[in-house]
A = this chain, B = another copy of it.
């Protein structure tokens, strides 16, 4: 993951480390979606006290990866088609706005960097079809930079901090690594042009269509699989 978030600091406390470990395991599906979380069991597994584990659970809840009920306990969230639809609708709204703001607020050098990211991605064209990983990295990196370009701290916090890993979880567990490779790349370019033209209205619309198309693509794939 090359996405350096300037806002986020390296893990300091042991609770931070447990949080990152569990986050990874949930996203990748090593801890199964929908499964119950036993505090004593996991505390023993990671060799920490329950207090520390609970601190980690609180952060997992903050990024919507687990849900807690009083006096009952925690469960990993389920991955449903409905849930996928819902989170893409939220992304469409928020990243659309982020893109509009990016067109208003990005510095010229930030836009230059965004362009470089796309170029580097374009040069990997030959790799793209074979190795899906780079495609996903490139996609995430692009979206990430646009969000940061909004210069809206609240928006950045919600998208990069609280929703980002849930999106990754859906990508992992529904096995969609390289959706619409060349098409998505061209859409990214169109968005970049709109931003560098400072056309916020168009930038927002293009980003919304881009995310909506990505969602429909996934839904189609899931329908096929279920036939």
Contacts and interface: CB of A to CB of B under 8 A. Distances in A.
Interface of A: 9, 12-13, 16, 51, 55, 58, 61-62, 64, 70-71, 83, 86-87, 89-90, 92-94, 96-97, 101, 152-155, 157-158, 162
Contacts of A155: 86, 89-90
Among A58, A90, A153, residue most surrounded by chain B Cβ atoms (within 10 Å): A90
Contact of A158 (B58, B70, B90, B101): B90
B89 A152 contact: yes
24 contacts: A9-B70, A12-B70, A12-B71, A13-B70, A51-B51, A58-B58, A62-B62, A64-B154, A64-B157, A83-B154, A86-B152, A86-B153, A86-B154, A87-B154, A89-B154, A89-B155, A90-B94, A90-B97, A90-B152, A90-B158, A93-B94, A93-B96, A94-B94, A162-B162
A93 B97 contact: yes
Given A89-B101, A89-B152, A162-B162, 5 more contacts: A83-B153, A89-B97, A89-B154, A93-B93, A93-B94
A51 B62 CA distance: 18
A56 to B, nearest CB: 11
The 5 closest A-B pairs by CB, nearest first: A93-B97, A12-B70, A86-B154, A58-B58, A93-B93
Contacts of A83: 153-154
A31 B162 CA distance: 26
A104 to B, nearest CB: 10
A201 to B, nearest CB: 12
Among A12, A71, A89, residue most surrounded by chain B Cβ atoms (within 10 Å): A89
A174 B121 CA distance: 46
A161 to B, nearest CB: 11
